[in-house]
Structure 1
Amino acid sequence: MLERLLRIIFGDKSQKDLKAIQPLVDEINEIYAGLVQYDDDQLRDRITQIRSELKAKLDLLETEIAELLFRFREESDDSERNRIEREIDSAKRELKKQRKALLDDYLPEVYAIVRDTCRRLLGLKYDVRGHEVGWNMVPFDVQLIGAIALHEGKIAEMATGEGKTLVATLPLFLNALLGKGVHLVTVNDYLAQRDAEWMGPVFAFHDLSVGCITTGMNHGQRKEAYRCDITYGMNSEFGFDYLRDNMAVGHEQLVQRDFYYAIVDEVDSILIDEARTPLIISGQVAQDKNFYSELKSSVAQVVQAQNALVQRYISEIREDLKEDNPRADRDRLAQNLLLVKRAAPRNKAFMKLMQEGELKKLVNDTEGIYLRDKKMHELDENLFFVVEERQNSVDMRDKGRDMLSRAEKDLFIVESLDEILARIDNEESLSEKDRALQKERLTNRFMDKSEKLHNINQLLRANTLFEKDVEYVLLDNKVVIVDEFTGRQMPGRRFSDGLHQALEAKENVKIEAGTQTLATITLQNYFRMFEKLAGMTGTAVTEESEFMEIYKLPVMVIPTNVPITRIDHDDVIYLTKNEKYQAIINEIVYMHERKKPVLVGTVSVEVSETISRLLRRHGIAHNVLNAKNHEREAEIIMNAGQPGAVTIATNMAGRGTDIKLGTGVVTQAIEEYRGLPRGLSD
């Protein structure tokens, strides 16, 4: 109500933004109409001329800043360094101001030239990720609006299918004319490579170089990619290159340039969802002594004992839930539910019970009472260990300690090392040599025991909080992390603090050497270093306040080229997974028989393979796209829109994935909607 009242009084913000930009769009269109008289070489020459003009107008100030930086490095007097630093800051502010003014002046002409370049490329055949495509895009007016918003350092909210990839070429092109390097940041390697190749002809037409940063590239390849006018790449790759540059010991080892301008695709995912996720560069520990192989079977027995205990509690819960049970005990039901939550919060039977609102409220209320009365520790003594899912931690209880101490009685008795060493120092009967030997022996014993306790904790976490085909997959007898946001494999990345080794022990594969953190940064802190930042997504307004507060990025809603006619249906909720899966299969069969392409999104590798098994039983040909078969991604996406195609995918086929509908799919849908005989149209 308040929002509607404010709109009536002050007007709609999006409409105001569009009204302010419209004169620029009109100017671009006017220039564009006159470019038809130029041949290709004349069009290229004009861009070359603009680059020269920009360089000439900014050279003096850039040279001044370079000289000030040199003086700052050479100066030893602190007060003089402070004075020079203030001069540098002032000169940089002036340079930023001049860059903005100049690019704003050239924007209408440059955007018109890029648009005309797209027109001249129509019909061009070229390869994108090994598949031949034809250039068929010329920016619409609404895409020009989005491109202007991106140049102004805003977030352009554009609906799915409105051509964000093409829109980004205009501000990238304009800002690349300064020669400082501009970045297009994507959510994965596939999109970075695809977009760099797909949009490449626009830049190549004017001799602007395009590079792409991907996982697995060597130092030389990365340096070459960053020297290009436009660099595409995955968000984490830019961050890791920054960390490696900070660890470099010589200037020749650096790969990145200054942080000038970046456009972040799927900006809400990268700058909000993943913003606080740290990027970590690790190195091998000098001396890596661990006991994972020795302890894994003992820990597995404790986990099995806890699972058996949980099954007993689940059975009692089911008995208490029976309506005809005269012995049903609500207090026992509440306590057992809380015990299972503390023991195995990811237990499938428990998660199913928690779908019932009344039971969920009961367990939460009971938990609150135990916490209020400070009696949770009494309840926990029934368990072997407690799983704190929110804290991502596991806490061993006395029953678990007793079970693990059978082979080593004093495993959980840990004295202070200082007290141990002080006791040896007070042993007057020991010679200096014997005292030193005793200290070394007991210190090593203390360190071994501490490492064992740490290994036990990590093995418990690996067995209770990390599930195969969800948080990680097994490939070539190696534990490979699956990115929770993109659903993609992260080869070469390892969980820190021994957790990855614990997972290797759990899965009975080779336990690799341990690692330690050498450098770390969050995506939020990395992207805040850029002089100018912009973003694109289909969903930004919901996080508008966060974008403004953290990054000073306003959101502008870009209208669609034609009105949206899609109908969004209500969600359908089922009591059991079996019912849900059966409904999914029925819907797929229905659409498949009518030759309509179907995309089924799943939350994990495991679920995607479950649906795949059900489809095989029904004899329906389909493709599965998940972290296990990512190498076929381009082929699967290329065919996903064909008539009758069925594609089962994790969130790998989520953000930024562009599925093109095959020949006849839309025509067939229109004919069915109109009720016309097949083959007839207006």
Structure 2
Amino acid sequence: MLGIGTIAKKVFGTANDRKVKTVRPLVEKINALEPEFEALTDEGIKDKTEELATRAMGGESLDALLPEAFANCREAAKRALGLRAFDTQLMGGIFLHQGNISEMKTGEGKTLVATFPAYLNALTGKGVHIVTVNDYLARRDAEWMSKVYAALGMTTGVVVPQQPAEEKKTAYACDVTYATNNELGFDYLRDNMKSELDQMFQRPHHFAIVDEVDSILIDEARTPLIISGPAQDRSEMYAAIDKVVPTIDESHYTLDEKSRQVTFTDEGNDFLEQKLAEAELLPEGQTLYDPESATLVHHVNQALRAHKLFVKDKDYIVRDDQVVLIDEFTGRMMAGRRLSDGLHQALEAKEGVSIKAENVTMASVTFQNYFRLYEKLGGMTGTAATEADEFQEIYGLGVVEVPTNRPVARIDEDDQVYRTAREKFDGIVHEIKEAHAMGQPILVGTTSIEKSEYLANLLAAENITYNVLNARQHEQEAQIIADAGKLNAVTIATNMAGRGTDIQLGGNVEMRVLQALAADPDADPEALREAIGAEVAEEKEKVKAAGGLFVLATERHESRRIDNQLRGRSGRQGDPGRSAFFLSLEDDLMRIFGSDRLDKVLSTLGMKEGEAIVHPWVNKSLERAQAKVEGRNFDIRKQLLKFDDVMNDQRKVIFSQRREIMEAQDLSDVAKDMRDQVIDDLVADFMPPKTYADQWDTEGLQTAVMETLGIDVPVKDWAAEEGVDDDDIRERLEDAADAFMAEKAEAFGETTMRSVEKQLLLQTIDTKWREHLLTLEHLRSVVGFRSYAQRDPLNEYKTEGFQLFERMLDGLRSDVTAKLSQIRPMSQEEQERMIAQLRQQQAAAAAQVAAEQIAAPQPGQAREGFDENDPSTWGNPGRNDPCPCGSGKKFKHCHGRLA
């Protein structure tokens, strides 16, 4: 019997169906314009862009311009790339322009979809950002789609790490800019640490389209971007503590895998006290409960987490004397990303690699708060529906499932559940052998490097050829994924490694052409493309006959979305395919999230060794478990965001103040207001209101005025005069301070004084903000304990965070006032001495460069004493220096390759 909701959907359609229906008339309008735009010359398309831009800047709404803009963009793409956008791609573009997430299946052409709303919104002249998950995709998409934008008369830029400043500035000034989420966030923070407006890269945040939006706005949302500077080196302490932690046993700590928490028991604390005292880390007579032990306790806890929660080759790998984190969602290495609060140092100590110094935060922002800066946001992914509530609540983004261009022909089989992991892997190998025998390409998804390598060994024992793709093979990622659709291919991928590169049945023509051209640069590209295209087309038919790509998952992830991503690699553009999940009761998800009942059911059924249970009810039960986990993770992210919003409000105030200061030409009024406020505070402190003259501390006030304002005035004498009150004193101090600063401005010169005020203000704001961030971090780490006293930690954090912010602003005023009062112009003699010192330094630097140039070999001339067979005669060239053999090549491309 059908439920009321199901009957209603049959009659009225789902909410998603209704959204799709509303844009169909717009798609028809765009299609009706096609003959008109086909008739335009190449110059006519660019002229049309100019006309549309004039109308947009003249006040015509973008919605009104949409049909013409999309028709123009479709025609430009058809000419530049040979791709005519499907109606479903136009739909996806319309939803993006409306500020939604377009959920489009793999292979539906999301890269092209983004050009439509990007072009339309760039007509305003405010710039559009297209955000990708890695540098490779940013460069690839920018290079590929720049042909479309160029045909439309628009500029395209790409922002990548370690880019020269001028190049980056030019990229941000383009109509459409491709960049990674990390680089956008870091550039935002860097911009707000600069002291001149013309040094800033980013324009105001107008419109962003986020590719793989679920990965960026949900998976990575918990990790803040942090720009930091080095702090005190404590590597010896980490190494010493690391020797203590392995000596503890299971009775010394409690481990909660669900919440990824590990804590010491009372017995563990007693044991630790004894061990730390023996190691002379805990001073005699001091306990772990003393306030002085707070830092030591913090580091011991981090060492415990490193040993008990973080698993090598799953959470991180060790490479080149470094601990490199692995993204739990994509299986990719996160080079340069470090865990905070000393946790990364604890991992380095555990693995015996070099321990790098901890850092202090200079600026930070979460992706949640960075992307909420944009006036309008859109996103694309193949999997967003399961997180629709979170997108709506946090970013105000709706999720619309865009129909596929061709119906999905993939067969999704019910999950197969085994009793033990061993039985499960036996079943997986058997399934792979059967599919492999038919020539069907197989993509096997695993959840860790360890499991991918375990399965690889099982396949090797069966003489099955395979490719493994995990963080260790990160460099060959695109190539391995491009080959995954070939006949007989078996690819083992950790999580979703390979996002952004389509698995095409029969192989990837473009990849094959690039390889052939690399092997034979003189070959004719068109002839190659034709020959390879024919080969791939023939192989594609064979693969289709074998059943298309078979996606076999060895475990379910905590998030349904990650499972759907893996499943979605098969069945692109109407291709055949199938997917299956193989599970066991020993899997993390089943073990942690209640498989007791299922275990009893399987026991009751009297399952034989190696048998699996396959039933839709099992799927439903697992989906409910996953939905619970997703809900809990959403609550954690929501709570984190509430805490970060406190800092975000303060960040916006500070960053907008900095910008106003940079834009201002004359800050003397701001400096005077600060000075007057400081005088008010000083007078109120030493001459409290409603008190008698004999209760005033005039001597203390006179000293404080000298220290803060740099003026020596007879406050004591003024106070002794008949009828003088605190207002009179305040007025006289303001007059004296104004006169003192006016003299200073005259001595410096008006222009110099204004510049000094600006730089001092910016420097002091930055210093105070850094100190404030550190204080907030410490407050955040302790405020959770307030819940034991029945007080809401968030409210406590808000209240105390606001008080700390007010205190920071008070400190800012007095610091700026004190610094301005202390500066003085240099005498002629001091200036000459400084110029002489600078000249000496420049001469020494020039001599050093000259000496290096003499020592360095010229092209065709080897370094003196160079012996090809004796590396000790090569000197110590850097990898990018000229090779000492005199070849003229860089060392890394010449003898450095052999060293």
Q: Structure 2 length normalisation: TM-score?
A: 0.54
The one-letter amino acid of 1:489's match is M
Distance in 1, matches of 2:302 and 2:232, equals 20
3-state SS, counterpart of residue 51 of structure 2: helix
3-state SS, counterpart of residue 629 of structure 1: helix
The one-letter amino acid of 1:462's match is A
Measured against aligned partners, the alpha-carbon deviations of 1:482-535 in whole angstroms (never above 9, x if no partner) come to 122222212122111111111111111111111122222221111111111111
The one-letter amino acid of 2:73's match is V
Residue of structure 1 aligned with 2:254, choices 383, 386, 396: 386
Distance in 2, matches of 1:139 and 1:104, equals 20
Task: Pick which of 186-195 and 19-28 moved more.
Answer: 186-195
Distance in 1, matches of 2:82 and 2:417, equals 41
- The Cα of 1:4 is off from its aligned counterpart by 2.6
1:266 and 1:535 in contact (8 A); partners too: yes
Counterpart in the other structure of 1:551: 395
Task: Pick which of 638-647 and 243-252 moved more.
Answer: 243-252
**RMSD of aligned residue pairs (Cα, Å):** 2.9
1:605-644 matched pairs, under 5 angstroms: 605-644=449-488
Residue of structure 1 aligned with 2:41, choices 20, 39, 42: 39
The one-letter amino acid of 2:24's match is Q
Counterpart in the other structure of 2:67: 108
The one-letter amino acid of 1:508's match is G
Residue of structure 1 aligned with 2:435, choices 580, 591, 614: 591
Counterpart in the other structure of 2:871: none
The one-letter amino acid of 1:45's match is D
Residue of structure 2 aligned with 1:206, choices 152, 158, 180: 152
Measured against aligned partners, the alpha-carbon deviations of 1:73-100 in whole angstroms (never above 9, x if no partner) come to xxxxxxxxxxxxxxxxxxxxxxxxx4xx
Measured against aligned partners, the alpha-carbon deviations of 1:596-654 in whole angstroms (never above 9, x if no partner) come to 22211111222222222223333333222211221112222222222222221123436
1:401 and 1:412 in contact (8 A); partners too: no
1:280-299 matched pairs, under 5 angstroms: 280-286=226-232, 288=234, 290-299=236-245
3-state SS, counterpart of residue 628 of structure 1: helix
The one-letter amino acid of 2:475's match is E
Counterpart in the other structure of 1:648: 492
Is 1:255 matched up with 2:99?
A: no
- The Cα of 1:161 is off from its aligned counterpart by 2.1
- The Cα of 1:673 is off from its aligned counterpart by 7.0
Q: 1:392 to 1:227 in 2, by over 3 A?
A: farther
The one-letter amino acid of 2:16's match is S
Measured against aligned partners, the alpha-carbon deviations of 1:543-571 in whole angstroms (never above 9, x if no partner) come to 33332222222222211112222211111
Distance in 2, matches of 1:558 and 1:196, equals 24
Distance in 1, matches of 2:30 and 2:310, equals 54
1:290 and 1:452 in contact (8 A); partners too: no
Counterpart in the other structure of 1:457: 301
Residue of structure 2 aligned with 1:521, choices 357, 365, 368: 365
The one-letter amino acid of 2:255's match is V
Distance in 1, matches of 2:8 and 2:128, equals 38
Task: Pick which of 519-528 and 466-475 moved more.
Answer: 519-528
Residue of structure 2 aligned with 1:471, choices 306, 315, 334: 315
The one-letter amino acid of 2:144's match is W
Task: Pick which of 32-41 and 660-669 moved more.
Answer: 660-669
Q: 1:26 to 1:508 in 2, by over 3 A?
A: same
1:387 and 1:395 in contact (8 A); partners too: no
1:275-314 matched pairs, under 5 angstroms: 275-286=221-232, 288=234, 290-302=236-248, 306=249
The one-letter amino acid of 2:301's match is N
2:273 and 2:287 in contact (8 A); partners too: no
Percent sequence identity is 47
- Where structure 1 has 5 or more consecutive residues not aligned to the other structure, the ranges are 58-97, 122-134, 307-342, 344-382, 420-445, 675-682
Higher relative contact order (CA 8 A, sep 6+): 1
Is 1:395 matched up with 2:269?
A: no
- Where structure 2 has 5 or more consecutive residues not aligned to the other structure, the ranges are 507-535, 549-899
- The Cα of 1:468 is off from its aligned counterpart by 0.9
Counterpart in the other structure of 1:668: 542
Is 1:16 matched up with 2:23?
A: no
Q: 1:256 to 1:164 in 2, by over 3 A?
A: same
Counterpart in the other structure of 2:78: 119
Aligned length: 513
Measured against aligned partners, the alpha-carbon deviations of 1:160-205 in whole angstroms (never above 9, x if no partner) come to 2222221111111111222212112223333323322332321122
1:267 and 1:536 in contact (8 A); partners too: yes
2:70 and 2:116 in contact (8 A); partners too: yes
1:185 and 1:265 in contact (8 A); partners too: yes
- The Cα of 1:478 is off from its aligned counterpart by 0.6
Distance in 2, matches of 1:410 and 1:563, equals 66
1:626 and 1:652 in contact (8 A); partners too: no
1:181 and 1:228 in contact (8 A); partners too: yes
Distance in 1, matches of 2:285 and 2:444, equals 53
Measured against aligned partners, the alpha-carbon deviations of 1:366-417 in whole angstroms (never above 9, x if no partner) come to xxxxxxxxxxxxxxxxx12233442534325435326514625793877599
Residue of structure 2 aligned with 1:576, choices 420, 432, 436: 420
The one-letter amino acid of 1:25's match is V
3-state SS, counterpart of residue 360 of structure 2: strand
The one-letter amino acid of 2:65's match is Y
The one-letter amino acid of 2:264's match is D
1:76-475 matched pairs, under 5 angstroms: 98=59, 101-121=60-80, 135-286=81-232, 288=234, 290-302=236-248, 306=249, 343=250, 383-389=251-257, 390=259, 392-395=261-264, 397-399=266-268, 400-401=271-272, 404-405=275-276, 407-408=278-279, 411=282, 450-475=294-319
The one-letter amino acid of 1:394's match is T
The one-letter amino acid of 1:384's match is H
Distance in 2, matches of 1:294 and 1:589, equals 50
Distance in 2, matches of 1:410 and 1:273, equals 38
3-state SS, counterpart of residue 409 of structure 2: coil
Counterpart in the other structure of 1:540: 384
Is 1:482 matched up with 2:356?
A: no
Q: 1:393 to 1:247 in 2, by over 3 A?
A: farther
Structure of larger gyration radius: 2
Q: 1:405 to 1:416 in 2, by over 3 A?
A: closer
4+ long deviations beyond 6 Å: none
1:596 and 1:665 in contact (8 A); partners too: no
Distance in 1, matches of 2:214 and 2:26, equals 27
